[in-house]
């Protein structure tokens, strides 16, 4: 009797694990080539140095978006890698932007110390909404998304990225 219970428990556990893994794969596969939400292209974000980052102006070319905050250590660690990627990706007509899910003062203070070559928008709560629209339901940072010229999300990642990983992503657009 005990062996039958163990066998049943192991079988059910394995089945539940496989179902969970299959569901996670299906969700990621479905999201990997999903269209960007129309609301995104209507958004505008104040820039730390003044002016606006207008999302509609970025449409129609490959676009890499990184969501970050000054209080997020992995975010700050990856920003130099993203800046390096920006210089390479722009040679392919790709665009890189950062959207800070943070207050204006800490972002401005940080950007005075760390010069970034790509545009940054002060996203605040609108940025949190956009993070959710792009598939990050947990809202964790850092979060990155690669969008191709046809407005399809082709890559997304919650967590720190690297230059090599981003170069690989750029091949998918």
What does the pLDDT read at residue 2? 53
Contacts of 69 by beta carbon, 8 Å cutoff, 6+ apart: 75, 100, 101, 102, 141
Residue among 137, 130, 68, 136 at smallest CA distance from 101: 68
Co-location of 5 and 40 in the same domain = no
Query: Which pLDDT tens digit goes with each residue over 59-118?
Result: 999 999 999 999 999 999 999 999 999 999 999 999 999 999 999 999 999 999 999 999
Co-location of 75 and 156 in the same domain = yes
Domain count, the chain: 2
Q: How many Cβ atoms from other residues are within 10 Å of residue 172's Cβ?
A: 13
**pTM, whole model, 2 decimals?**
0.80
What range does the domain containing 90 cover? Answer: 34-170
What does the pLDDT read at residue 82? 98
| pLDDT band at residue 173 using 50, 70 and 90 as cut-offs | confident
Pairing of strands 63-68, 95-100: parallel
Co-location of 50 and 116 in the same domain = yes
Cis ω before 111 (30° cut-off from 0): no
What does the pLDDT read at residue 37? 86
What does the pLDDT read at residue 89? 97
Q: What does DSSP assign to residue 87?
A: H
What does the pLDDT read at residue 126? 76
Helix (H) or strand (E) holding 153: strand 152-158
């Amino acid at each position: 009797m005990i062996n039958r219970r163990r066998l049943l428990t192991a079988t059910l556990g394995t089945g539940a694990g496989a179902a969970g893994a299959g569901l996670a794969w299906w969700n990621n596969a479905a999201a990997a080539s999903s269209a960007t939400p129309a609301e995104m292209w209507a958004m505008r974000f104040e820039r730390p140095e003044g002016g606006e980052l207008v999302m509609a102006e970025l449409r129609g070319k490959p676009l890499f978006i990184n969501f970050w905050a000054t209080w997020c250590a992995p975010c700050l660690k990856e920003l130099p890698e993203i800046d390096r990627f920006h210089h390479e990706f722009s040679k392919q007509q790709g665009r890189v932007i950062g959207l800070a899910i943070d207050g204006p003062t800490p972002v401005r203070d940080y950007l005075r110390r760390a010069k970034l070559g790509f545009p940054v928008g002060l996203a605040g709560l609108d940025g949190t909404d956009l993070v959710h629209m792009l598939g990050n339901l947990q809202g964790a940072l850092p979060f990155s998304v690669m969008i191709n010229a046809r407005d399809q999300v082709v890559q997304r990642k919650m967590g720190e990225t690297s230059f090599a990983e981003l170069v690989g992503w750029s091949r998918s657009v």
